[in-house]
Amino acid sequence: MLCAKNKELRIERDKNQNIIIMAPTGTDTGNFNLEIGSEVRNWNKQSKLGYAFDSNTGFTLPDKAILSPDVSWIAKEKYESLSKEDRKRFAHICPDFVIELLSESDNLKDTKTKMEQWVENGCLLGWLIDPIDRVTHIYKPNIQPVQIPFNEILTGDDVLKGFELKLEDVLPYR
């Protein structure tokens, strides 16, 4: 109800039911987000392996949090198993892949905690992209996060089969 009455705000709820109101992104972050999301969309359009979602999509996670990643993807069979009614809301599902893009207004520690929450709820691969330090923190279940610099190629592993992204090519300046 709060979200429906405040559509101009980006509102999330953590697993402890705390409301988180997020500031709109700046133009750099908005551009970066679109560029990265387009790469995922283009790969998905070719592979036809699932469904890609933008930053306005909220998901109700098993721990009852409602979160909205900057980019997300769900395998085709998993998404299509949702009822049509659930798809119209903040679907009760955890994406298989998420990207959180750190913006100037974000706190790295809080965003790392959010990434851990994604994995705890069933996300198989998560990228926390930090355009300021030009590094990506990779999150997977049962593995400590690792950092990959922008000049190295990120891969979708077994989650986004065949997907590769070199952030230095997508986010070339700074």
pLDDT tens, 86-129?
Answer: 998 889 999 999 999 998 878 899 999 999 999 999 999 999 99
**Per-residue pLDDT at 138 exceeds 60:** yes
pLDDT tens, 67-83?
Answer: 999 999 999 999 999 99
Categorize the per-residue pLDDT at 26 as very low, low, confident or very high, splitting at 50, 70 and 90.
Answer: low
**Per-residue pLDDT at 21 exceeds 80:** no
101 contacts 30 by C-beta, under 8 angstroms: no
**pLDDT value of residue 135:** 95
